[in-house]
Amino acid sequence: MAVPVACNLCGANEAQLLFPNTLGTDRRSGSIERYRCTSSGYGKHLAIVRCTQCGLVYASPRNGDEAILESYEDVVDELYVEEQLGRVLTFERNLRPLLALVGDVEHPRLLDVGCYAGVFLEVATRHGWEAWGVEPSAWAAEEAVRRGLHVIRGTLATAGLAPAWFDVVTLWDVIEHLTDPKGEMQRVNRLLKPGGIICIHTIDIGSLMPRILGPHWPWLMEMHLYYFSRRTLAQLLEENGFQVIRQFSQGRYLLLDYLLAQLQAVSPQLSRLLRGSARRLGLSRRPISINLGDLCTTLARKTAEA
């Protein structure tokens, strides 16, 4: 049963409705399909509100934490593996700022939270990192282990990792899915060495695109529970023992076929037509760099125990 949720940032219970629930009688609501990384359920979402005290935007009311976690544990997402080339190019680029921040540390130790099938872990390992991952999806964790990666199935709350053991912790497109971002930041803080780095990549509700598109912004989705702006994410980090170093817009590479497949949510017929044309022209596997300014990366340094 869906219940109202207090603000995860300041604890207030007063919130203003921004976008009403669009799920209605949607039969696929709550299904595993909606919790896949490659879900095309754009525009299908819970009610989205803004805290009247601190401005955090989040989904409320919503189902309990256990029901949401169970959905992620059951996810199977073969399309994600098919799109690996675009993700490798993205993560090769995204790793560069982290390389600069760890400096002269030899074989730095990294933890990727919500690592899915482990593409980022493979990229980091090739660059000399000791890379570990935590992932709730049984399918994704097994896929990563099959590829020889150090992945623990579960969450930070259950993984049993040693404190002050990692130089860097990353959350790529993860924090918006968490039921308790504040608690997760506290767990990350304990796992990082003094001066360690946290890297968070997430959708940015304060950017230009959501202001222009309003209720038609595609990242309004059932699986997204929190919609941080740069300001509210910086506040979350600072209140949990981190100092923000840098925040910047960071897009991604997508294979053209995958990008066109996402058009199914708007027009299945147009999607099929364009994908067929791309295949005939031999362009399906061409990587396309996309940056609309509504995806933001935040780098911060641990300054104190949370």
State the Cα–Cα distance between residues 136 and 188, nearest whole angstrom: 16
Where does the pLDDT of residue 265 fall: very low under 50, low under 70, confident under 90, or very high at 90 and above?
low
Residue 225: domain span = 77-208+221-251+291-302
Chain center to CA of 239 = 21
- The answer for residues whose C-beta is within 8 angstroms of residue 237's C-beta and 6 or more apart is 185, 198, 200, 243, 244, 298, 300
| Strand pairing report for 15-19 and 48-51 | antiparallel
- What H or E segment, with its residue span, contains residue 88? helix 84-102
The rounded distance, in Å, linking the Cα atoms of 158 and 234 is 26
Among 85-99, 164-178, 247-261, 263-277, the range with the most confident prediction by mean pLDDT is 164-178
Which long-range contacts link 123-128 to residues 24+ away (Cβ below 8 Å)? 123/88, 123/91, 123/92, 123/95, 124/91, 124/95, 125/149, 127/95, 127/99
Q: Determine the Cα–Cα distance for residues 247 and 99; give it in Å rounded to an integer.
A: 16
Tally the domains of the chain: 1
Over residues 193-221, the pLDDT tens digits come to 999 999 999 999 999 999 999 999 999 99
Residues 267-296 pLDDT 10s = 778 888 888 888 888 888 888 899 999 999
Residue 84 lies in a domain: yes
Higher pLDDT, 229 or 3: 229
The mean of the pLDDT values for the chain is 92
Task: State how far the Cα of 48 lies from the Cα of 56, in Å rounded to an integer.
Answer: 10
Determine what percent of the chain is predicted with pLDDT higher than 70. 98
**21-35, 95-109, 230-244: which is most confident:** 230-244
pLDDT score at 267: 76
Residue 86 — very low, low, confident or very high, per pLDDT cuts 50/70/90? confident
| Cα 135 to Cα 72: distance, rounded to the nearest angstrom | 9
Dump pLDDT digits (tens) for 26-46: 777 777 778 888 787 888 999
Tokens representing residue 224 in the block:
């997204």
In a domain, 246, yes or no: yes
Residue 63 is predicted with a pLDDT of 87
Q: List beta partners, residue 201.
A: 172, 297
Closest CA to 173 of 294, 63, 300: 294
Residue 61 domain flag: no
What's the CATH code of the domain at 186?
A: 3.40.50.150
The percent helix, strand, coil of the chain (3-state, each to 5) is 35, 25, 40
Q: How far does CA 76 lie from the centroid of its chain?
A: 17
Please report whether residue 51 resides in a domain. Answer: no
Q: Round to whole Å and give the CA distance between 13 and 293.
A: 31
Angle at CA of residue 259, ends 258 and 262, nearest 5°:
90
Q: Please report the pLDDT score of residue 38 as a whole number.
A: 78
Digit-coded pLDDT (tens) for 101-144: 998 788 899 999 999 999 999 999 999 999 999 999 999 999 99
For residue 248, what pLDDT is reported? Answer: 97
Amino acid at the residue 147: R
The model's pTM is: 0.93
Reply yes or no on whether the pLDDT at 57 is more than 80.
Answer: yes
Q: Which residues pair with 166 in a beta bridge?
A: 192
Give the Cα separation of 41 and 135 in Å (integer): 22
pLDDT of residue 52 exceeding 90: yes
pLDDT at 266: 64
Q: Which residue type occupies 302?
A: K
Looking at the domain assignment, is residue 123 inside a domain? Answer: yes
